[in-house]
Structure 1
Amino acid sequence: MVIGNIYLIAAISIIGGGLFGFDISSMSAIIGTKQYLCYFNQGPNGPPDCSGPRSDVQGGITASMAGGSWLGALCSGFLSDIFGRKHAIIVGACIWLIGSTIICASQNIGMLIVGRVINGFCVGICSAQVPVYISELAPPSKRGRLVGAQQWAITWGIMIMFYISYGCSHIKSTASFRIPWGLQMIPAMLLIVGMLFLPESPRWLARNDRWEEAESVLALVHSKGDRSSAFVQREMQDIREMCEFERENRDVSYLELFRPRMINRTHIGVFTQIWSQLTGMNVMMYYITYVFAMAGLTGNQNLVSSSIQYVINVVMTIPALLYVDRWGRRPTLLIGAALMMTWLFADAGLLATYGHYAGPNGVGGIKEASWSVHGPPAKAVIACSYLFVASFAPTWGPVSWIYPPELYPLRVRGKAVALATSANWAFNFALGYFVPPAFVNIQWKTYLIFGVFCFAMFIHVFFMFPETAGKTLEETDAIFTNPHGVKYIGTPAWKTHISTSRVRKLEKGELDAKEIAAYHDEQADLGTVGRASMSHAAPGLSETPKVG
């Protein structure tokens, strides 16, 4: 039995994103517990005053997962192109089981790091290919909410694992962290079983000359098996024309993404993922217990207060899933950057004005909590942290996964999204390693750094990131070239807009014959523009190709 409901397909495949969420909170809820600090202690004092790993080593432990994810994301492009989107995700889930087993059995810091690198390899594969898989199956008018559901799965994974870890923190043995690390294998098992019942990407099937299967999948997902549906036929025509054009140059390398006709899209996709990290959100998730310790919260009070932001993260992602296809990508990213900048600068100002140095041992013996603030200013710091999460959740969180797969043509999409996602993990690694020493050495100024990043991303998005909402994946190609396809001009990003009304009508079969004919003529013109752009991106392809 093959599942054809697009919402159920998305619900199963985004479990791959949930694995990343499980990893985040399995560290953030555990790194402040005495059991963890004493078992992996590198400080001069033994129990009960253990200080745990050195700050640079803790940064390395946390960042090791992102290091593995960087490599996994790059490799996922090859896996996806050879074996298909579906099977690449299954391979990733199997790797997660291996890594989680090693982490659960860790006897020392080295073993823990190795397990996290292996887990990261899985997260890299799944985080790169789940958005590609969903975007190649989803109808244009629903693509944003369906791909963005990956971010929602991440937030659920964070929240669920945090409360599991919080409950286990009361166990007075190493089981307090081994149980959560072992339980994170369960979602990977569910993902493996669920993916067996899902269809392969129709665009990948078509590119591998499996046309009957491709049409069957499109009909199953979009028209309850009716191959004669106008939308199915339109999609098949777009895919067929693109594949016929690409046939002369089937082999795609990462170098093609840096050719003149593709470099702009590559830079936009890569920076979408880089900026999502430089917001500082994952830093908040990994090290929130340090931040709240600076505000005077300790023990259970710290953990419970930290958990509130995970609930906020889950709830505030819902508006994006419901409305991101109406809001568009550009406004969502711009508003998110402006709001996050505001809360980060507010936190920096509060800590600088009302806080003080807490000494070399930090607050409560946590040396990373090297700055202390009390009273109403401490409550304001906590409130700004919550508002920061509430600003990220409906904006950069989901859109950073939605946007990159929409930028590229079929032939390079797998590797292009893999490259963009690898940039996410490279910066995740760098920030995970950088932040603990930063809290020790520059204290509140850490917030200033991320605030400046948010200002820079606002400017970058306004001038360089075009709107892709409501367009077919093939249609988006025309944004990046002029009507003659001879020289890069493209449409200025600030002049692009959402176009969903006719696409929605076509999906529902509500266009009459004249409207369908007009729509097809427009799409044919756009397809010619897009193919012309590709002829310059890939040397050896003809200027005026014959398409079937």
Structure 2
Amino acid sequence: MGASKPTPCPRAHTLANPMPESRLDIDHWWRHPNLRTLNLLLLIPLLSIFSQGFDGSMMNGLQSVTHWQNYFGTPKGATLGFFNAAYPLGGVAGVFLISPVADGYGRRMGLALGAAFCCIGAALQGGSINIAMFVIARVIIGAGSVIVAGVGAPYITEIAHPAQRSTATALFLTFYSVGSIVAAWCTFGTFRIDGTASWRIPSSLQGFPSVIQLLLVWFVPESPRWLVSKGRSEEALAVLAKYHGEGDENDAVVQFEYAEIQSVLGAEQSFSKLNLFSFFRELATGPGNRKRLFIMVWAAICSQMSGNACVSYYLSPILTSVGLTSDLQQTLINATSQMLSWGSAVYFATLPAKLGRRTLFLSSLCAMWVIFICITAASAMFAQSHANKAAAYTVVVFLYLFSPAYNLGFNGNLGLYIPEILPFHLRTKGLSFFYFVQFCFMILSTFAVPIGLESIQWRFYLVFVVWIIVELIGVYFMFPETKGPTLEDIAYIFDGPNTKYSGELEAGGDEVKVEHIHAELK
């Protein structure tokens, strides 16, 4: 791929027709009963990332709650890092259940399993009587959270109307911010309670969205792609017709989707029994898959090692370092910053379809780099003179701005990009691998950040100032643009015209070359 701009698709796509225009009024989708129902039901898998957002914000808030600090012996440094690292540690274990359940028993069953883990973990967390019980509960929640996240992203991608797929999938990670807001205001509202209820209430509420998922996921339609992969093609066509064609099986979009899914999954049939070893062997085979492998690893690293752990889990010690020490100040800043984060995440979820995925990744990293430079400089000035309130407030302002900068590229955009670069038979296994790498680096960042902040104070931020430049270089040279093509057609961007993952659609035996992907990627 060239350094100056995204490389367009390397070939003229061979299809009977590009995606036809939908006869439905997509701009006013609520006027169509079945499409309206589908989009409302999408809220169930959209809740899948809620628990992860809740966790970081809750732990931020609890560090500002005196009763939590006293109950667990005021954890600092490595001990505090262990508290927070227990969550991604559970996530590392949970990734191994994503593909066997979601591919073997369906997306709904996978979502239900993860939600059940989260419910159990939240109950134990709220009722914890010692450090060990609290940590074990966080391990269980971490396992459940990664399962629902690993299933929820491809689930949305596979059932959303094709005209709304990019926005629907991008909205997925915005619910991270919804969870963060709920947790932040919950800890703000309970920190005044004189007793352990000040931390037990938010700890228990972490399981509330999982209860909703566990009860309502059975009303969400199963993935048509999963149904076809299990030989249940008639059911798949019925789902597509009901929700994408308002009951009309002959709808042009429905027929296009159905034919393309049949063609692609038929070509992928020989890969459907991939085990763990053959999955990694395939990822290492061919330049296209090796590029997918690099992107998944690099995106996972960027999503966890860009300094976001500082804001997500350790806002309290950062605020303390610039003189903001009261429970009220810290919980209020946490709550209001999460609202800004959510607002930006929702708006930015509409941008991948307009501006492109790669553009947002690069813009996000540039913005975070500038913000960390400003935080570092202001923190150094405050360290020289604690009377310098302007420096302290500057740190707070840029802490507020960090989440929107991160959300620009690594919220909805990331949630869309990873599922869509993977062909169907690699999708849940690939996401499992992505979350495995992501949670490994989450363990590293959540454990290392409090130690770094305690040992070298503001100088620790310089690590991120340098490292974000390295991340930016990797994205600039290796991440292709995927804006434009259908979900099945993205394989051509990575594998070229001879991809083994796609079949050819024919009309009357005549193949017609169309340049729509090539043109849209320019």
Partner-residue secondary structure (3-state), 2:248: coil
Matches within 5 A, 1:193-272: 193-253=215-275, 254-255=279-280, 256-260=282-286, 261-272=288-299
Q: In the alignment, what sits opposite 1:469?
A: 483
1:17 maps to which residue? 49
Moved more, 278-287 or 223-232: 278-287
Distance 1:520 1:347 in 2: 57
- Which among 463, 470, 481 is matched to residue 449 of structure 1? 463
What is aligned with 1:481?
A: 495
State the one-letter code of the partner of 1:308: T
The 5 Å alignment of 1:523-542 reads none
User: What is the CA–CA distance in structure 2 between the aligned matches of 1:455 and 1:390, rounded to whole Å?
Assistant: 19
Give the one of 362, 367, 373 matched to 1:345: 373
Query: Which amino acid letter does the alignment assign opposite residue 315 of structure 1?
Result: G
Do 2:309 and 2:449's aligned partners in 1 also have CA atoms closer than 8 Å? Answer: no
CA distance in 2, matches of 1:247, 1:476: 18
Percent identity between the two aligned chains: 27
Q: Once structures 1 and 2 are overlaid, which stretch shifts more, 149-158 or 6-15?
A: 6-15
Give the distance between the partners of 1:64 and 1:173, measured in 2 at CA: 25
**8 Å Cα contact 2:64-2:331 kept in structure 1:** no
- Farther-moved stretch of structure 1 (345-354 vs 236-245): 345-354
* Partner residue, 2:353: 325
CA 374–108 in structure 1, closer or farther in 2 if over 3 Å, else same: farther
Say whether 1:149 aligns with 2:171. Answer: yes
Given that 1:3 and 1:198 are in contact with CA atoms closer than 8 Å, whether structure 2 keeps it comes out as no
Is 1:408 the counterpart of 2:422 in the alignment? yes
How far the C-alpha of 1:123 sits from its partner, in A, is 0.7
Amino acid at match of 1:77: S
Question: In the TM superposition, what whole-angstrom CA distance separates every residue of 1:105-160 from its partner, at most 9, and x where no partner exists?
Answer: 11111111100000000111011111110111123442222112222211011111
Pick one of 84, 95, 98 that aligns with 2:106: 84
1:71 partner amino acid: A
- CA deviation after TM superposition for structure 1 residue 419, in Å: 0.7
How far apart in 2 are the matches of 1:524 and 1:5? 34
Which ranges of structure 2 fall in alignment gaps of 5 or more residues? 1-32, 501-506, 518-522
Mean alpha-carbon deviation: is it higher for 259-268 or for 115-124? 259-268
Contact 1:273 1:400 (8 Å CA) reproduced: no
Write the mapping of 1:357-436 to structure 2, written as runs, cut at 5 A. 374-436=388-450
Q: Deviations over 1:256-313 (max 9, x none)?
A: 2232352211221232122111122233121111111122112112221222211110
Aligned to 1:298: 325
**Partner residue, 2:472:** 458
SS at match of 1:29: helix
SS of corresponding position for 1:53: coil
Structure 1 position 89, deviation (Å): 0.6
Measured after TM superposition, the shift of residue 443 of structure 1 is 1.3
Q: Do structure 1's residue 312 and structure 2's residue 340 form an aligned pair?
A: yes
The AA in structure 2 aligned to 1:263 is R
Contact 2:240 2:254 in 1 (8 A): yes
Q: Partner of 1:104 in structure 2?
A: 126
Contact 2:371–2:398 (Cα < 8 Å) also in 1: yes
Matched AA of 1:398: G
Which residue number corresponds to residue 520 of structure 2?
Answer: none
Q: Which amino acid aligns with 1:408?
A: L
- Residue of structure 1 equivalent to 2:189: 167
Deviation of 1:73 (Å): 2.2
Amino acid in structure 1 at the alignment position of 2:259: Q
Among 65, 68, 77, the alignment partner of 2:87 is 65
State the 1:376 CA deviation: 0.8
1:152 counterpart letter in structure 2 = T
**In 1, Cα distance between the equivalents of 2:162 and 2:455?**
48
Shift of 1:321: 2.3
| Structure 2 CA distance for partners of 1:102 and 1:225, relative to 1, 3 Å | same
For residue 521 of structure 1, the aligned residue among 490, 494, 512 is 512
Query: Which residue is 1:35 aligned to?
Result: 67
The structural deviation recorded for 1:176 is 0.9
SS in 1 for 2:87: helix
Q: Secondary structure of the residue that 1:355 maps to in structure 2?
A: helix
SS of corresponding position for 1:403: helix
Corresponding residue SS for 1:395? helix
| Alignment TM-score, normalising by the size of structure 2 | 0.86
Q: How many residues align?
A: 473
Equivalent-residue separation in structure 1 for 2:161 and 2:148 (angstroms): 21
1-structure distance, mates of 2:439, 2:170: 18
* Larger CA deviation: 448-457 vs 161-170: 448-457
- Offset of 1:432 from its aligned partner? 0.7
Q: Which has the bigger relative contact order, CA under 8 A and spacing at least 6?
A: 2
Question: How far apart, in 1, do the equivalents of 2:349 and 2:488 lie?
Answer: 23
CA deviation after TM superposition for structure 1 residue 421, in Å: 1.7
Letter in 1 for 2:512: D
CA distance in 1: counterparts of 2:387 and 2:233, whole angstroms = 64
